[in-house]
Structure formats: structure tokens, C-alpha cells
Structure 1
Amino acid sequence: MKQIVLITGGTAGIGLGLAEAFLSQGAAVAVCGRSTAALERFSRAHPDALAIQADVTKSEARAAMLDAVAERFGRLDVLVNNAGTFVERDFASGADATQDLEQEVALNLTAPIQLTGEALRRWPAMAAIVFVTSGYALVSPTRAPTYGAVKAGLHGFAEGLRRQLAPQGTHVLELLPPLVDTPMTANTAGKKLSPAEVAVATLRALALRRPMALPGKTRLLPMMLRIAPDTIKRMVAGT
């Protein structure tokens, strides 16, 4: 039986890499995004997939998206909470560092929690729920402390939810990618993983029912935080 997969922010970057990886495994895939042009490009490239225009921070849009999945596929097996944004904020600059903070928190933290709850109410026996956080969920970046805060919050939610859903067999996976070659990091220097590499690591972690997918440099991050936390924090201070 085909898996039915919904990926938020699935028209570009990590989300697109995951969508294409699931499709290559024979899954039925739905993606959502806000850009009409990006959704149309996705549909042309993947005509068998379902592309839904939705702003996941809006409750009506989330409900309509889940309705579309139900109408097309009848159920949902895997929810991938991928949509997010990276915002640099300098609280030492003297300027207003909290501009549009509500939108950042809503997209990166509140929306995935709300969507997860809404999906579970419809499909309480889903096979898996995936949260795309970041290595910055464990060590917050100097240039974007609120990004570290919201990703740490999502990390905590995934950890607690994993224990809640374990008795019913729903696998909760947290993906902590390092720097990935996406439109959001186009102006960021450094070695980057491709979205396809991140997708391979994610699907492997799902198959093995691991709690975390740690592609690239993040593979050593939990261990390094245990044995050399100050070194890791100094490294992140420059990012």
C-alpha cells in the first residue's frame, strides 16, 4: 500500500528534496506552499503529486489543506512539518529587533504544533510525523537567537510528543540538518549539503525508526555537546 505523505513548504529546498525522495519510493505526495509560481513549477515537474496553496500559519488554510488531502487520498500516513524561515536579529544594535517576531514564531513553532494536532485528530494512527528543526535547536546561533529559540521549542515538542505517541506506534522523527544548499542560504558562505543528501538521511532514519536524523556535520553534534560543550558553543558563536 502506498504511503500518503504531506510536506509543508514542499516546493523548494529541503521540502522539495523530501518530496522527490518520497515520490521515488512510490509514495503519494502532497505539498503545500504560498507561492503560486512555485506550486505550478512543482506540478509541472511532478504531475501525479498534489500541490496545495496554503499559508500554514492560518487555521482556515490548514483545514482546507487537510480537506484536500482527505479528498484526494482518503488518509494521511506521514506528516512532514518543514515550512520555516530564518531571520537574523541583533538585540545589541539598539534598533527594534522584534519586528515581525509574531510571524517568525507562528511559522517556525506554532503552526507545526497546530497542524500536528489537527492532523492527529483526523488520523490518530498516522505512521510518522517529522519535524524539521536544525542543529541550531541544540546550540543557538549568535546572529539569529530567536531562530534558535523557536527551533529549540520545536525540538522539545517533538521529544515530548514522541513519548505520548509511542504506545500507538506513531514514529516521531526530528530532522536536524546542517547548512543546506537552499534559496534561504544562498548568501551564506560555507560547505553545504544538498537537499537530496538530507532527504536520503531522513528516509533512512524513518526506515530505522530513529528519533533523530542527523545528516552531515550534525551527526556528531549531540556527542560533542556532551564531551566538549564550550568548544561547540565557541564555534557557533561565529555563525
Structure 2
Amino acid sequence: MQKVVLITGGTSGIGLGLAEAFLGDGAAVAVCGRSRTALDSFSRAHPEALAVQADVTVPEARDAVLDAITHRFGRLDVLVNNAGTFVERDFAADDATAALEQEIDLNLTAPIQLTGEALQRWPALEAIVFVTSGFALVSPTRAPTYGAVKAGLHGFAEGLRRQLAPRGTHVLEVLPPTTDTPMNAGRAGPKLSPDEVAAVTLRALRQRRPMALPGQTKLMPTLLRIAPQTLGRMVARL
């Protein structure tokens, strides 16, 4: 049976890479995003997929996405919580709390709420995926609130995994390194491609791993255990 997959923020960056990987794997794919232009472009490239305009921080919009999936496919098998934003904040220099609620809503509150709402409709989801970041393990100097919300999502995924284990629902956390996305367009240095992140993610889903660690993030759990100060210095340069 064809799997039905929902990817939030699925029209660009890692979300688009995941959408195309799932489509290539034979899944039925739904994406949502805020940009009508990006959604239209996605639909032209992938007319077989469902593209819904929605801001996942808005309860009515989340309901509309799940309604659209019910109408089109009748069920959902895999939820991928990918939508997010990266905001640099310097608490040593500025009033750094502007639009803080919006950052927390998009990166932390909305994926938790959407997960709960999806489970209410489909209690036996096959898998729930959270795209966090390597910064969930070591917070970046230039964006401490981003590290905080991703660490919060990391903690939620860990506890949820244990809660849903008796149902057989696989909870996967994906921790990408710096990836070649619009969010990182101005950043120098090595970047992983969204396609590489997607390939590691689908492999981790097939193998039912708790975490997918693309690129250099595969070293982070070990470094965090044996050389946390070294890892902190490495992250400080990012």
C-alpha cells in the first residue's frame, strides 16, 4: 500500500529534498507552506502531490491541512515536522527578544501541536519525524534561542518515542548539520545538500533508528560524551 506522507515546510530546502525523496520512493506526498509562489512552483514540478497553503502556527490552518489530507488520501502514515526558522540573537549587544514568540511558535510549539492533532485523527501513525539540528545538542553562539527550541524538540521526540513504542509508531529525530538551504545562503563553509539529508532520513526510517545523523553530525554524540569542550569550540565557529 502506498504510504501517505505530510511534510511541513516542504517547498524548499530540506523539506523539498524530503518531499522529492519520498515521491521517488513511491509515497503519496502532501506538503504545506506559507508561500503561495513556492507552493505553485512545487505543484508544477510535482502535480501528483498535494500542496496546501498553511501557517502551521495557526490552529485553523493545521486543521485545514489535515482535512485536505483526509479528503485526498483518507489517511496519514508519516508526519514530518520540518518547518522552522533560524534567528540570530545577540543578548550581549541588543534587545534580542524581538519576535521571540513567533520563533518559539514555529520551531517548537507548532510541531508539538500538529503531532498531537495528527495522533488524535490517526492514532496508529507509522512514523513521526522531527527535523531538529545538530544545534539541538550544542547550542550555537550566534543563535542561542534556536539551540534552545531545537533542544526542546529533541526532548519532546525522546519522550514521545517511549510513549508511542507500544503502538509501534516510529519516532525519528533528524539532526542535520549546516545545509545548503535558503536559510544558509549567506553562510560560508561546507554545507550538506538537502538531497543528502533526505537520503539519510529515509534510510533511518527504513532501519527504524531513533536518530538520523547526516554528515558531520554523526560525530556529535560521541564528541559530546568524550570531548564536550572541543565540540563547544567547534560549534562556536559556526
The TM-score, its normalising length taken from structure 2, stands at 0.99
Instruction: After TM superposition, give the deviation of residue 203 of structure 1 in Å.
Output: 0.2
Deviations 1:181-212 (A, max 9, x none): 00000001110111000000000000000000
Equivalences, count: 238
Equivalent residue, structure 2, for 1:138: 137
Quote the Cα distance in structure 2 between the aligned partners of 1:105 and 1:5.
25
Whichever residue aligns with residue 111 of structure 2, its letter is: P
Deviations 1:13-65 (Å, cap 9, x if unpaired)? 00000000000011000000000000000000000000000000000000011
Matched, 1:161 2:155: no
Q: What is residue 58 of structure 1 aligned with on the other side?
A: 58
Partners of 1:41 and 1:140 in 2: CA distance: 34
Which runs of structure 2 are paired with 1:218-237 in the superposition (5 Å)?
Answer: 218-237=217-236
* Residue type at the aligned position of 2:16: L
Alpha-carbon distance between aligned partners in 2 of 1:114 and 1:133, rounded to the nearest angstrom: 16
- Percent sequence identity is 78
Q: Does 1:116 align with 2:115?
A: yes
- 1:208 aligns to what? 207
| Cα distance between partner residues in 1 of 2:109 and 2:186 | 27
- Secondary structure of 1:167's aligned partner: helix
> In structure 2, what is the Cα distance between the partners aligned to 1:15 and 1:215?
15
Alignment of 1:65-76 (within 5 A): 65-76=65-76
Match of 1:24 in 2: 24
Question: What is aligned with 1:89?
Answer: 89
What secondary structure, in the 3-state scheme, does the structure 2 residue paired with 1:40 have? helix
Residues of 2 paired with 1:174 and 1:207: CA distance?
13
Output aligned runs, 1:26-41, within 5 Å.
Answer: 26-41=26-41
- Where 2:141 maps in the other structure, the secondary structure is coil
Distance 2:99 2:90 in 1: 14
Partners in 1 of 2:83 and 2:136 — Cα distance?
15
Cα distance, 1:235 vs structure 2: 1.2
**CA RMSD of superposed structures (Å):** 0.4
SS at match of 1:174: strand
Aligned position for 2:104: 105
Amino acid at match of 2:117: E
- Report how far residue 237 of structure 1 moved: 1.6
Where does the alignment leave 5 or more consecutive residues of structure 2 unmatched? Answer: none
Q: Structure 1 residue 96: deviation in Å? A: 1.2
Deviations 1:95-129 (A, max 9, x none): 21000000000000000000000000000000000
Residue identity in the other structure for 1:50? L
Q: Secondary structure at the match of 1:163?
A: helix
Question: Within 1, Cα distance between the matches of 2:232 and 2:23?
Answer: 38
Q: Quick one: distance in 2 between partners of 1:12 and 1:180?
A: 12
Alignment of 1:78 onto 2:71: no
Q: Distance in 1 between matches of 2:212 and 2:171?
A: 11
In structure 1, how many angstroms separate the alpha carbons of the residues matched to 2:50 and 2:77?
Answer: 15
